[in-house]
A and B are shown apart, each in its own frame.
Chain A
Amino acid sequence: MRIVFKTDYMQDIRPWKDGYQLSLYLILLAIVAAAPWVLDVFYLGELTNVLIWAIAGMGLMVLTGHTGQASLGHAAFLAFGCYSNVILLEAGVPFILAFPLAGLITGAIGALVAIPALRLHGIYLAIFTLAMSILVDDIIVLTEPWSGGVSGKYIAGVDIFGLTIDRWGTPTLFYWMVLTVTVIVALGYINLLRSPLGRSFIAVRDSQVSAQAMGVDIARTKTISFGLSCMVTGWAGAFMGMFAGAFNNETFSVVISIELLMMIVIGGLGSIHGAFFGAIVIGFLPQFLSISKEYVGAVFGGSTVAIPGLEFGIFGMILIAFILLEPMGIYGRWLKIRTFFELFPFYRKDMFKRQKSYLKTERLR
């Protein structure tokens, strides 16, 4: 086990622990950036999809994982980001401006939504956001002149400084663009977490009462958290629209919201890694299922007919298993495995054991 001796404050708040850890992440980044030379077009597309989901996951993670506000309505903000991006592009705004603006607009809407949502907590907030997510479908249909309604909208390639970036025409460029945004968002997230604002997010998550006693303005913190979360989610939505090429009112359904929340739970709530792990599961589960279905069909001689709802059924079972057996998600499991090897042979079973807790009512606050 490596022990890092911290000798000054700057070293303590540095985003990386030591040069070894930093070099590991740089190597990972180099490998991911070199992916277009290794993978074929199909898997490159899948990897792009995973990165887009990871951006959305980071967006939700700020709110749910670090501020403790469960949202079942983030598909609404994906839709806002996607549509505002396209509408700005159609109005003649260059992509390099339209894309950041789409996120900012979504963030502003998110902060507005947060104002009534501030009075809610726990399940009431979840239901509020759920209702919002359902309403978005109807709102898109009603605002047909801008949104295209049921027939939807299309988006072709975009131009950045004369380079045409298109998901189908130039998948490599599209991949690098998504990767760049992912890295920027992740770096911003890491920096946020070591700033006073990020610390106050975590304080609000762990105990509102003690956060308030420490001088954290809860309403302001939650609003900023909502805004930041929705901004990042809006960017992810803009990318999702460009990745799909065509979308309408049903693209960003409530199921996407639920999937997004489940994704970060599987990945591991309260860690940036979790957003990426969850995105990998979500991104590759359909492929994995179809491959394993073929395999099962070949071995047992059964037919390979599509079973409707199979994907969600399996997804639900995986999720139940995770919540019961590993509530910290994939990242939590990884931490345990790593600690096991670092401390070998001194790892004890109860090292990550949680304290026993009893539920107290929310009806008396």
Chain B
Amino acid sequence: MDNVQLLISGLANGCVYGLIALGFVLIYKATEAVNFAQGDFMMLGAFVTIGLTNTEYMGLPFWMALPISVGIMAILGYLLDRLLIRRMFGQSQTAVVILTIALGFVIRFVAGLIWGHEPQTLQNPLAGREISFGGLVLGMEDVAVIVVTLLLTGGLFVFFSRTKLGLAMQGASQNQLAAYYMGIPVKRVQGFIWALAGAVAAIAGILFAAKGSVDPATGLLGIKAFAAAVIGGFGSLPGALAGGLIVGVIEPFASRYIAAGYSQIAPYALLLAVLVFRPHGLFSQVRVKKV
């Protein structure tokens, strides 16, 4: 029973990692760039929601604040693409990586200026409520996290594989020039995907802030989400979620059963192992080009 409890809390944590990883993968799938600031995006989304709902700030009703903060983050993501990323069009991946790392620094700094460096929690209607069945006691937040994540991942998966816009995004990532020739508005598609990633980050941030406290350094969680995305294989949405769940589940079990000092290594050791033995993730998409 203990193990099941550990598993569930690990799954809930893993879903948050998975959601951040989903943001990486969205951007990677559509633009082949990696957004190292995705974790900081998540942190910013959490703080925007806290700023809107918590009574010491604006004190809006929770359910009204949700769409507003998701919208704000989507607009922010779009603006980011419009003002910064679009000017890097066609440049090497490394340049974009460094740009987004720098962006993460700036976001952390700005969030610290506005909301301070104290850990804060989101005041939400689910807090403290529990449901129990079969001897298990589950926090409502954990259940909400799992359900929302599953819905979002499923929705995005269908979007990418079934809709015209989703296919256009995949095409634009594989060969920008060819996508232009096929009449895909590559730049607009990219702007859209950054907005989408911003919205996903906001949702991840809301879920995270509802479960625990956030402070500006929370964005560094993005590194763990990275491990998740890599384990799942960049470029696969269900893979990102699976990677997130693996990392999330390993953590509580490692800290329970492995000696202290070794336990926090576990996710990174797994990451290194995956990179060494399956360099493109468990759900790889790399194929050798046939000439």
Residues of A within 8 A of B (CB): 64, 70, 116, 119-120, 122-124, 126-128, 130-132, 134-135, 138, 141-142, 254, 258, 261-262, 265, 307-310, 312-313, 315-317, 319-320, 323-324, 327, 356-365
- Could you give, for residues 249-264 of chain B, a 1 whenever the CB lies within 8 Å of some chain A CB and a 0 otherwise? 0000000000001101
Chain A to chain B contacts (Cβ below 8 Å), 14 pairs: A116-B275, A116-B276, A123-B34, A127-B271, A130-B223, A138-B264, A309-B112, A323-B88, A323-B99, A323-B102, A324-B88, A356-B90, A364-B286, A364-B288
Q: Contacts A316-B104, A362-B93 hold; do A124 and B279 have CB atoms under 8 A apart?
A: yes
B213 at the interface (CB under 8 A from A): no
Residues in B21-71 with C-beta less than 8 Å from chain A: 31-32, 34
CA distance A345 to B90 in the complex (A): 32
B161 at the interface (CB under 8 A from A): no
What residue in chain A is nearest B259 (Cβ atoms)? A142
Whether A364 pairs with B98 at a CB distance below 8 angstroms is no
CA distance A135 to B227 in the complex (A): 13
Which of the listed residues A135, A254, A358 has the most CB atoms from chain B within 10 Å of its own CB? A358
- Could you give, for residues 217-258 of chain B, a 1 whenever the CB lies within 8 Å of some chain A CB and a 0 otherwise? 000000100110010001100000000000000000000000
Q: Contacts A138-B264, A309-B112, A365-B288 hold; do A124 and B230 have CB atoms under 8 A apart?
A: yes
Q: Contacts A262-B98, A308-B112 hold; do A357 and B90 have CB atoms under 8 A apart?
A: yes
Chain B residues within 8 Å of A364, by CB: 174, 286-289
Q: Contacts A261-B98, A324-B88 hold; do A312 and B288 have CB atoms under 8 A apart?
A: no
What residue in chain B is nearest A362 (Cβ atoms)? B32
CA distance A362 to B285 in the complex (A): 10
Whether A265 pairs with B98 at a CB distance below 8 angstroms is yes
Whether B99 pairs with A360 at a CB distance below 8 angstroms is no
Whether A361 pairs with B32 at a CB distance below 8 angstroms is yes
Chain A residues within 8 Å of B97, by CB: 70, 123, 126
Whether B109 pairs with A316 at a CB distance below 8 angstroms is yes
Residues of B within 8 A of A (CB): 31-32, 34, 84, 87-91, 93-95, 97-99, 101-106, 108-110, 112-113, 117, 173-177, 216, 223, 226-227, 230, 234-235, 261-262, 264-265, 268-269, 271-272, 275-276, 279-280, 285-289
Q: Contacts A310-B109, A323-B95 hold; do A360 and B175 have CB atoms under 8 A apart?
A: yes
Secondary structure type dominating chain B contacts: helix
Chain A residues within 8 Å of B272, by CB: 116, 128, 131-132, 135
Whether B103 pairs with A316 at a CB distance below 8 angstroms is yes
Chain B residues within 8 Å of A265, by CB: 98
Nearest CB in chain A: distance from B31 CB, A: 8
Nearest CB in chain B: distance from A109 CB, A: 15
Whether A262 pairs with B101 at a CB distance below 8 angstroms is yes
When the two chains form the complex, which single residue of A126, A130, A363 contacts B94, counting CB atoms closer than 8 Å? A126
Q: A319-B99, A320-B84 are in contact. List 13 more A-B contacts (CB 8 A).
A: A119-B276, A120-B279, A123-B93, A128-B275, A132-B272, A142-B261, A142-B262, A262-B102, A312-B108, A315-B102, A316-B104, A358-B177, A365-B286
Q: Contacts A123-B234, A135-B268, A310-B109 hold; do A359 and B103 have CB atoms under 8 A apart?
A: no
Whether B32 pairs with A124 at a CB distance below 8 angstroms is no
Which of the listed residues A308, A317, A359 has the most CB atoms from chain B within 10 Å of its own CB? A359
Chain B residues within 8 Å of A123, by CB: 34, 93, 97, 234
Whether A258 pairs with B101 at a CB distance below 8 angstroms is yes
Q: Contacts A308-B112, A324-B88 hold; do A313 and B94 have CB atoms under 8 A apart?
A: no
When the two chains form the complex, which single residue of B101, B227, B279, B287 contacts A363, counting CB atoms closer than 8 Å? B287
CA distance A360 to B173 in the complex (A): 7
Nearest CB in chain A: distance from B232 CB, A: 13
CA distance A131 to B174 in the complex (A): 27
Nearest CB in chain A: distance from B2 CB, A: 26
CA distance A124 to B103 in the complex (A): 20
Whether A319 pairs with B98 at a CB distance below 8 angstroms is yes
Whether A70 pairs with B94 at a CB distance below 8 angstroms is yes
What residue in chain A is nearest B101 (Cβ atoms)? A258
Nearest CB in chain A: distance from B284 CB, A: 9
What residue in chain B is nearest A307 (Cβ atoms)? B113
Whether A363 pairs with B174 at a CB distance below 8 angstroms is yes
Chain B residues within 8 Å of A128, by CB: 272, 275
CA distance A135 to B266 in the complex (A): 10
Chain B residues within 8 Å of A320, by CB: 84, 99, 102-103, 106
CA distance A177 to B77 in the complex (A): 49
Whether A119 pairs with B279 at a CB distance below 8 angstroms is yes
